[in-house]
Structure 1
Amino acid sequence: MVYRTKTYIAGEWDGDQDAIQKLHDWNDNKFWSLSFTDAHDLMQANDGSLNCSIKSSLATRLNASKRFVLIVGKNTKSARSGGCQYCNSYNRWTGSCARGYSVDIRSYIQYECDKAIKDELDIVVLYNAATVDKSKCPESVKNIGNHVAMCYYKDGKYYWDYNAVKEALS
């Protein structure tokens, strides 16, 4: 039996760094009562690593996790980073890996979502927006888990909605 205690946070880093950072800010600040242990603290992959090596590192973190949190923004569904077809070791003529590894054309985000479902993790989908727009969510988790907007709109401004996020993660 696997002992799972961590929370795994996934998202399209380039577009949703602010939302991911806000979760960490709330978690690290003693004023807020949000509390989770980030699975990414276990190990870090080198940005120069092969996509398959990075996915192996992601699997190790997911294997220690009980909860999967996906941050959905405008580019999440279309993110393609992580697919073997974008690796220098991928042979486009044969569709194989020059290093002998198995080929996986899924993006990092799709890989993470699929593994979270397969491992039956608690799934929370947080939208980096004031509304839940499932058309921006990857198909595999579109109708699974708890979907919540991370923001609200009031008096012409957007605000982070700590209470909604805390409730979703409780």
Structure 2
Amino acid sequence: MRYRTKTYIAGDWTGDKDAVDQLYKWNNSNYWGLSFHDAHEITQSADSSRNCSIKASLRARLDISKTFVLIVGNGTKSRRAGECNYCFKNNYCGSSSNKSFIEYECDKAVRDNLKIVVLYNSAKVNKNLCPDAVRYQGVHVPMCYREGGKLYWDYQTVKNAIKNC
């Protein structure tokens, strides 16, 4: 029997790197009280791996996760990395899906009934930017707040969302 103890972080690691980095900063700090056990510490795929090999690695990490955290930014829903028409059409790797990595992760999180937290890399929740599979699932909160015309990271809202989902 496999115990699900990890937290899985998903998102556009290029377009929303600032938000991903902030989440890890809070988690790795001795000052901040955010604490999660990162599923990405378990196994990694090389960037040169086939998309189907990368999805197998994603599946292994999701299989040990109890919480799925998706960081949503302006380009998350339209991100297409992970699609592979060759594998899908020719059943090259046994893939039954031509979905992007983000779509694949979201679908599996819902299918596995993981706790879902959607963090928006902004001061508001805009579910139109969220992938369809998790648009109406779990807890949705902004990662920032606006004060005096400036954006600030909202540690307390993020911590509460992850802790209380």
**What TM-score, normalized by structure 1, do the two folds share?**
0.92
CA RMSD for the aligned pairs? Answer: 1.3
Cα distance in 2 between the residues matched to 1:56 and 1:138: 21
Aligned residue number for residue 142 of structure 2: 149
Cα deviation for residue 127 of structure 1 reads: 0.2
Aligned structure 1 segments of 4 or more residues deviating by more than 2 angstroms: 99-104
- The Cα offsets for residues 27-72 of structure 1, whole Å up to 9 and x where unpaired, read as 0001000000100000111000000000000000000100000000
Q: SS of the counterpart of 2:33?
A: coil
Are the equivalent residues in 2 in contact too, given 1:96–1:102 (CA < 8 A)? no
2:123 aligned with 1:130: yes
Aligned residue number for residue 34 of structure 1: 34
2:58 aligned with 1:65: no
Counterpart pick for 1:121 among 114, 117, 120: 114
- The Cα offsets for residues 83-111 of structure 1, whole Å up to 9 and x where unpaired, read as 112xxxx179xx214x4533521000000
Q: SS of the counterpart of 1:13?
A: coil
Are the equivalent residues in 2 in contact too, given 1:70–1:126 (CA < 8 A)? yes
Structure 1: give runs of 5+ residues left out of the alignment: none
Cα deviation for residue 125 of structure 1 reads: 0.2
Q: SS of the counterpart of 1:158?
A: strand
**What TM-score, normalized by structure 2, do the two folds share?**
0.95
Cα distance in 2 between the residues matched to 1:132 and 1:157: 17
Q: SS of the counterpart of 2:14?
A: helix
Counterpart pick for 1:105 among 75, 98, 101: 98
Distance 1:120 1:53, change over 3 A: same
Are the equivalent residues in 2 in contact too, given 1:84–1:103 (CA < 8 A)? no
Aligned residue number for residue 158 of structure 1: 151
Aligned residue number for residue 6 of structure 1: 6
Q: Percent identity?
A: 55
**How many corresponding residue pairs?**
163
